[in-house]
Chain A
């Protein structure tokens, strides 16, 4: 879809929003035209590369643009189409990858000095599946170093800027992918979500972002941060495009032993099903502590779902309140273990010293930025003798309590609704000096990582500052289909509200994928 649609709300935010959405074709539409031979993948990729060249210098979403590889892949795809071969569900669709996803022969830095110049000897499973589906990888995007952060400011090469306001952050840690999709440089991006790193930047940039149930998408080739929390998820400009991308990357992978032994969830088929009779719990803890303009959007979203036939009621899940603390013990603990591998021996940076231990220390001291050092030390502390029971052990048990609380809530409700982030996009520099304030940016997204449940954000309205607000839909484990069903209804409601606000008759949006289906 080219206008309105997923970010109909962005249209209501004025010139910036309109410019942002201009001329952006959906992944579904691109793949359709390329498959039918109406447009070449080469022309699609050239347009994306031109948009990146023109606009990324001001945005800094990309760490590496793979122009030559993208052109070659597009030519090969066009050749396949001409030869009559089926080119896949993402035929010719340009995709941006967060730079913690391994790409064979292409730099993969995690925005860290310690991996500068590293070219992995293999592709992540999601990258293999994208290529097999006909998608074209156009580049690697900026992130907080090793995905640790909520603003992309922890990148060793500097922050990505918000697509609508360069003085603000795009969120993080998948801020590069979210900004690239939000700015319309590419229709699809992949991020990783350990504590909200797909959903929070997607919300801030006014796009759709989704974290699957833990184990639905293979983590093979995702550089590990916190292994019991990490999931790769899609970023897109519409719910339908996010559904398409999820269906391509999901499904069992023998190379990841935490990958669930079940087929990819089918989520596209229920997007038009509506919410009549569904039970929606508006979660107090995901609304109460958010900024007034954000909580207003969540309430409006709940009202619209009720008008569409859902049974909507408020629910309290008090255990969510200690999620942040549990997360900031568990995630650093796992990170301190995972990042022990950066020892200057097998790949990446080495700073020479007289013996191995001194070389390890010199390498890690020079290679890691301050946030990564903070997390490694925090995790080492939480795991260390004498403190393990009081911190890591307690956090793991708190995690159980949170999961049990969600299970109770899901006996009464099909999905839960809340904010994705407590505020709209904040100013660059605003939270860097205060790590705890930065950690609070993830307070609404962290619970789903701890529970392993799926969650996604849909743009819904805008804040008092005119910047996008995301509303979050949470669902029980493996209920991705139901979650997408609700997300699609929210997307339609947001478009209707934006249309009404602009006094556009509904016909003005005719021709978008969404309306065509209705």
Chain B
């Protein structure tokens, strides 16, 4: 397997967009340098031969975790909505979602 690619300014701009973060030109430069160093350091992992090694996503294997199907009280609706930035008619209110006029 070839060496994994290094991380550049375009990559940082791309992941910032995916993660819904807006960066200034100056921040883009700073983060690119910092993240490239971390990715560079990660070569000791990315260059490992792990053929045939299964991945670990959970350190202590447990499966089929079920609890009894009994009704119980949920969170109080008014208390939850009280923490929201904007509500209307007992629901969360957000700005326009699609590009058309409302």
Is B one of A's binding partners? yes
Among A254, A346, A348: residue with most chain B CB under 10 A? A346
Among A72-80, A146-154, A353-361, A505-513, which stretch is in contact with chain B? A353-361
Are the CB atoms of B95 and A390 closer together than 8 Å? no
CA distance A503 to B15 in the complex (A): 60
Q: Which of A340-358 contact B (CB under 8 A)?
A: 340, 343-350, 352-358
Q: Closest residue of chain B to A453, judged by CB?
A: B59
CA distance A344 to B86 in the complex (A): 9
CA distance A403 to B54 in the complex (A): 12
Are the CB atoms of B38 and A436 closer together than 8 Å? yes
CA distance A173 to B53 in the complex (A): 32
Q: A121-B75, A378-B35 are in contact. Are A325 and B42 (CB under 8 A)?
A: yes
CA distance A398 to B14 in the complex (A): 27
Q: Closest residue of chain B to A351, judged by CB?
A: B85
Q: Is the interface of A mostly helix, strand, loop or mixed?
A: helix
Partner of A329, one of B21, B42, B55: B42
Contacts of B12 in A (CB 8 A): 377, 381
Are the CB atoms of A397 and B21 closer together than 8 Å? no
Q: Is the interface of B mostly helix, strand, loop or mixed?
A: loop
Interface string of A380-392 (1 = CB under 8 A from B): 1100101100110
Q: Which of A402-448 contact B (CB under 8 A)?
A: 403, 435-436, 439
CA distance A419 to B4 in the complex (A): 33
Are the CB atoms of B19 and A380 closer together than 8 Å? yes
Q: Which of B29-77 contact A (CB under 8 A)?
A: 31, 34-35, 37-39, 41-46, 48, 50, 53-60, 62, 65, 67, 75-76
CA distance A229 to B65 in the complex (A): 19
CA distance A482 to B18 in the complex (A): 46
Q: Closest residue of chain B to A105, judged by CB?
A: B79
Q: A355-B97, A381-B7 are in contact. Are A403 and B46 (CB under 8 A)?
A: no
Contacts of A326 in B (CB 8 A): 45
Are the CB atoms of A381 and B21 closer together than 8 Å? no
Q: Give the shortest distance, in Å, between A406 (CB) and chain B (any CB).
A: 10
Contacts of B90 in A (CB 8 A): none
Q: Closest residue of chain A to B24, judged by CB?
A: A365
Are the CB atoms of A344 and B39 closer together than 8 Å? no
Are the CB atoms of A353 and B95 closer together than 8 Å? yes
Q: Closest residue of chain B to A117, judged by CB?
A: B83
Q: A121-B75, A398-B50 are in contact. Are A346 and B19 (CB under 8 A)?
A: no
Partner of B55, one of A348, A386, A390, A396: A396
Are the CB atoms of A398 and B45 closer together than 8 Å? yes
Q: Closest residue of chain A to B34, judged by CB?
A: A435
Are the CB atoms of B15 and A381 closer together than 8 Å? yes
A450 contacts the other chain (CB 8 A): yes
Are the CB atoms of B15 and A377 closer together than 8 Å? yes
Are the CB atoms of B95 and A356 closer together than 8 Å? yes
CA distance A244 to B15 in the complex (A): 45
Among B7, B62, B86: residue with most chain A CB under 10 A? B62
Are the CB atoms of A359 and B94 closer together than 8 Å? yes
Contacts of B75 in A (CB 8 A): 121-122
Contacts of B31 in A (CB 8 A): 373-374, 377
Are the CB atoms of B22 and A361 closer together than 8 Å? yes
Contacts of A345 in B (CB 8 A): 84-85, 92, 94
Q: Give the shortest distance, in Å, between A335 (CB) and chain B (any CB).
A: 11
Contacts of A450 in B (CB 8 A): 59
Q: Give the shortest distance, in Å, between B58 (CB) and chain A (any CB).
A: 5
Contacts of A399 in B (CB 8 A): 55-56, 59
Are the CB atoms of A391 and B15 closer together than 8 Å? no
Are the CB atoms of A401 and B50 closer together than 8 Å? yes
A266 contacts the other chain (CB 8 A): no
A484 contacts the other chain (CB 8 A): no
Q: Closest residue of chain B to A358, judged by CB?
A: B95
Q: Can you give 8 contacting A-B residue pairs, CB < 8 Å? A: A228-B58, A228-B59, A336-B19, A373-B31, A380-B19, A390-B4, A391-B42, A395-B45
Besides A347-B85, A435-B38, 7 other CB < 8 A contacts?
A228-B59, A328-B42, A356-B96, A387-B4, A390-B46, A400-B56, A451-B59
Nearest 9 CB-CB pairings of A with B: A452-B59, A396-B55, A350-B85, A397-B50, A390-B4, A380-B15, A399-B56, A325-B45, A257-B65
